[in-house]
Amino acid sequence: DTAVSQTPKYLVTQMGNDKSIKCEQNLGHDTMYWYKQDSKKFLKIMFSYNNKELIINETVPNRFSPKSPDKAHLNLHINSLELGDSAVYFCASSRQGAGNTEAFFGQGTRLTVV
Amino acid sequence: QQPVQSPQAVILREGEDAVINCSSSKALYSVHWYRQKHGEAPVFLMILLKGGEQKGHDKISASFNEKKQQSSLYLTASQLSYSGTYFCGTQSGNTPLVFGKGTRLSVIA
């Protein structure tokens, strides 16, 4: 069983479109995250979310929004896609905050905006 | 606050040793180390929580200094399988896990 799964694995779309990436974890974790990895391989935190609190990296454009229908899912919705949004997006989860427990990553979604 | 990693890249021959450093301008609650191979997701290596702590498995180990502002990852007798990008992740207070820019390690035969 895959612990953290993301769909789709690849996503190619045109500028201006709206798209969503889904993430599900079956580990019973309380906290989920979205990271963006650009061409320079920098892993940038976008959101941290548990059932009580959403922490948003202030540098993330408001075109990006996390949506959590339940504790096991944290989807990423992106409006009005831009060329600079092209990157690999990783979902991750951990028990409570990631301070003292391992974070498990999904396999990533490679988003290409054309 | 993003931790600072050094070096940015290192090339080793099999059997050589390497040290990757991770530092912060303030005291940390924890330091995580992850390795990412090309085209794959980051994979957890270890967490250090206490100042002065050292951990390791196989030939990869790490330390967390007393002031909890710096950690080092030690790779000894490197193998081809060690190649990848190593990230340190840090967390302080209630902030989420934030990663450094990574260190690209290449081990050649």
- At residue A97, the pLDDT reads 54
Dump pLDDT digits (tens) for A94-112.
Answer: 887 545 678 999 999 999 9
Given a cut of 60, whether residue A9 has pLDDT beyond it is: yes
CA distances from A98 to A23, A38, A55, B18, B102 (A): 18, 22, 13, 27, 19
Cβ contacts from A onto B, under 8 A: 62
Counted domains in chain A: 1
- Domain of A13? 4-113
pLDDT at B91: 79
The model's pLDDT over A15-47, given as tens digits with 9 standing for 90+, comes to 999 999 999 999 999 889 999 999 888 999 999
Separation CA A66–CA B42 (nearest Å) = 21
pLDDT for B106 equals: 97
Q: Which of A90, A97, A101 is closest, CB to CB, to B94?
A: A97
Q: Residue B35: how many CA atoms within 13 Å on its side-chain side?
A: 15
Gap between the Cα atoms of A112 and A86, Å rounded? 5
Residue B25 has pLDDT above 70, yes or no: yes
Domain coordinates of chain B in residue numbers? 4-108
Strands B9-13 vs B18-23: parallel, antiparallel or unpaired: unpaired
**β-bridge mates for residue A35, sequence order:** A45, A90
Beta strands in A1-114 (DSSP E): 4-7, 10-13, 19-25, 31-37, 43-50, 54-56, 64-67, 75-78, 87-94, 104-105, 109-113
CB burial of residue B100 (10 Å; 0-12, 13-18, 19+): buried
Residue A99: the pLDDT is 58
Give the Cα-Cα-Cα angle A45, A47, A48 (nearest 5 degrees): 100
Give me the residues of B, 16-55, that contact A with CB < 8 A: 29-30, 32, 36, 40-44, 47, 49
Distance from CA of B15 to the nearest CA of A (A): 26
For residue B47, the chain A residues in CB contact (below 8 A) are 100-102
- Reference A98, options B58, B101, B28; nearest CA is B28
Question: Residue A53 maps to which CATH number?
Answer: 2.60.40.10
* Segment 61-100 of chain B within 8 Å of chain A by CB: 85, 87, 89, 91, 94-99
Q: Which residues of B touch A55 (CB under 8 A)?
A: 94-96
B50: pLDDT strictly greater than 90? no
For chain A, what is the mean pLDDT?
A: 91
The answer to whether domain B4-108 has CATH 2.60.40.10 is yes
